[in-house]
Amino acid sequence: MTSWLERKIHRYERMRFAQEPNRRTLPFDWGLEYIGGGASHPEPRAFLEQFVAQAVAQSDDWYAVTPAKDYALADNVLTFTSAIESPWPENNRVHAQLFPVNRPRQKKGRGRRRGDKTKGPAVVVLAQWNARWEEQQNVCLWLNRLGITAIKMSLPYHDRRAIPGHPRADHLVGPNIGLTMQAGRQAVADVRRTLRWLEQQGYGPLGVLGTSIGSAIGFITMCHEPALRAGAFLHASTYFGEVVSHGLTTQNVWESLQTGVSRDELRHYWSPISPFPYISKLRNGHGPGRKLLLITARYDPTFWPEFTDALLEKLRGEQVEFENLSLPCGHYSLGVAPFSYIAGLRFGTFLRRALAE
């Protein structure tokens, strides 16, 4: 039996989903040419079996990046070339809005040691799927009030990175298997290049704050990025494919995907761009001493609660320390009052404490 609140939340979620503009259903495609295969490969499933096993086993190499050579900051907008080259030049130029906290620099000879950070903590903010350029700016300003510099990075195919004919980010989450994998890998690589710039500028300690797909990207980044001390993730799930094949907000994507693959196949094929396979890295690799916060929605029809619970159970099983706040809301409704205020207070105070110098 569902509660009155859960039914109300689900009605709101469906209403918000129906209001989204420009949604369309694209055709299914294997897209192996985006991950090193051939567009007309005779056995796409066999290719993907081998590719997925190698990508997950060698994920440190698959997600590895070097700093960009062309960082440019103008009017508090950072731009640079992505480490992953997609077929669209518009998408290959990363844009990130910087919200700096001005801090006085220490002069030499007054307690400053060589190598000391001078600009204070900074957080990379990753918004939800199809977020506009101006969205989550208030989140960045809230972090500023807490003494934390924020840099909101545009995800692949979003806002200033949108490609002609696609006002929505159809290629970050789409029915093209290989292209979606390339986009997920590109997103993580872009975050890591953003972190390299922050380090070059003297920011630190560093954190990441992600919402929805931004949460998944941020989580994978944290599993592979030793520079991150803290991560706050709004919405959490196991596998990227499980969200897409079951979730409300990706119904149009699954409509095409199911013509070519099953749910189990999709979960497996997209495991390299999923949080679940990399959880052990938080214990065995870069995890000790770092802080995690997961804010989850109890009535979420997009990141289903059973998938969220499975991720939390896996973290516990791997003995990864984390904090969790579960709210009685859904996916869209986490962004409205009172839930947005509760979540904001929680992740703000968490990041301020976790990134204390």
CATH code for the domain in which residue 203 is found: 3.40.50.1820
Cα 291 from Cα 277, distance rounded (Å): 19
Place of tokens 């300690």: 205
CA distances to 69, 112, 124, 234 from 154, rounded to whole Å, are 19, 35, 10, 17
pLDDT at 123 over 70: yes
Higher-confidence residue of 290 and 112: namely: 290
Can you tell me the distance from the alpha carbon of 231 to that of 350, in angstroms, rounded to the nearest whole number?
9
| Strand 93-99 with 77-81, pairing | antiparallel
Residue 138 lies in a domain: yes
Which tens digits make up the pLDDT trace of 300-348? 999 999 999 999 999 999 999 999 999 999 999 999 999 999 999 999 9
Tokens, residue 269? 């094929």
In-domain check, residue 15: no
Whether 176 has a pLDDT exceeding 60, the answer reads yes
Query: Are the beta carbons of 195 and 124 closer than 8 angstroms?
Result: yes
Look at residues 232, 220, 235 and name the one whose alpha carbon lies nearest to residue 148: 232
129-170 pLDDT, tens per residue?
999 999 999 999 999 999 999 999 999 999 999 999 999 999
Position 17 in a domain: no
Number of domains in the chain: 1
Whether the link from the prior residue into 226 is cis, omega within 30° of 0, is no
Q: Is the residue at 14 inside a domain? A: no
pLDDT digits (tens, 9 = 90+) for 227-281: 999 999 999 999 999 999 999 999 999 999 999 999 999 999 999 999 999 999 9
**310 is a domain residue:** yes
Q: Does residue 134 or residue 357 have the better pLDDT?
A: 134
pLDDT single digits (tens) 211-222: 999 999 999 999
Two tokens at 271?
């495991």
Is residue 159 within 8 Å of 94, Cβ to Cβ? no
What tokens does 41 get? 């490969």
Torsion of CA 12, 14, 15, 21, to 10 degrees: 140
**Confidence class for position 106, pLDDT limits 50, 70, 90:** low
Identify the CA nearest to 92 among candidates 189, 167, 200, 219. 189
How much is the average pLDDT of 69-74? 98
**% of the chain with per-residue pLDDT over 70:** 94
Does residue 24 lie in a domain region?
no
Listing from the earlier edge strand, what are the strands of the sheet with 323-327? 72-74, 77-81, 93-99, 149-153, 122-126, 206-211, 228-234, 291-297, 323-327
Could you tell me which residues come within 8 angstroms of residue 59 by beta carbon, excluding any fewer than 6 positions away? 224, 272, 277, 278
In a domain, 18, yes or no: no
Give me the domain span that covers residue 76: 29-102+119-354
CA 250/CA 303 separation, integer angstroms: 11
- Structural domain contains residue 52: yes
